[in-house]
Amino acid sequence: MSAGDGRTAGEDGPGDETRARAALVATARHLASQGLSPGSSGNLSVRLGHALLLTPTGSALRRVRPEELALAPLGAAPGPAPGASGAAGGPRPSKELPLHRAVYAARPDARAVVHLHSPAAVAASCLEPARRPGGTGPLEALTPYAVMRLGDLPVAPYAAPGSDALAAGVAALAGAHPVLLLANHGSLVAGPDLDAAVDLAEELEAAAALALALHGVPHRALGAAAVAALRARRG
């Protein structure tokens, strides 16, 4: 890894970084194989001490290699604009770096962040808010598992990809919501590790696909009392 300029892996050692690179690549390949990262979309990161390890700009999850992952400080550094700064001479991080930083800043418990343009989640991100008891997100409360696992699924306001405005919208929501939609864009999930974040991203995709399948079809959503009881169990 590159030392200096604050872009170090903090208390995590080189072995941890090697394992993290391998895990990120394996996860990226998995997500691509599931059709959840069309084209060159989607980016993933893990926290490594005071840095984050992130998929690079201009790559695709299906073909990214361990040495192409970018290390960046957790906090925005003065100087080059976000997205223009990889470790010196190293790969340049995804232009969505500000999103990842916003989540880690809001959630000290987060060790991994997954951002996808998966088809059903993108469709859900374009929906108007549902009439959902106690919630503001676009998906109705349809199944107990989704209510408990995904929560309200709020939508961060639309702003251009990679912009500070988008990161600010995420920062306002991420502390209370590990699972988010970005309006007209995609999903953003935080987890205590990479596998947990991927599980949530896949569950979000399934919940969004279910909601779309029922769109315009007479169906039964969970009632307010059921949702309240599930929320109480979720804590």
Among all residues, which ones are annotated catalytic?
96, 145
CB 111 within 8 A of CB 104: no
For 149, the token pair is 């696992």
d(C-alpha 232, C-alpha 205), whole Å: 24
**Helix, strand, coil: what percent of the chain each, to 5?**
40, 15, 50
Phi, psi for 182 (deg, rounded to 5) = -110, 125
Vertex 6 angle, CA 4 and 9, to 5°? 90
d(C-alpha 50, C-alpha 44), whole Å: 17
Query: b/e map of 84-100 (b: 16 or more CB within 10 Å)?
Result: ebbbeebbbbbbbbbbb
Side chain identity at 212, as an amino acid letter?
Answer: L
Vertex 92 angle, CA 34 and 122, to 5°? 35
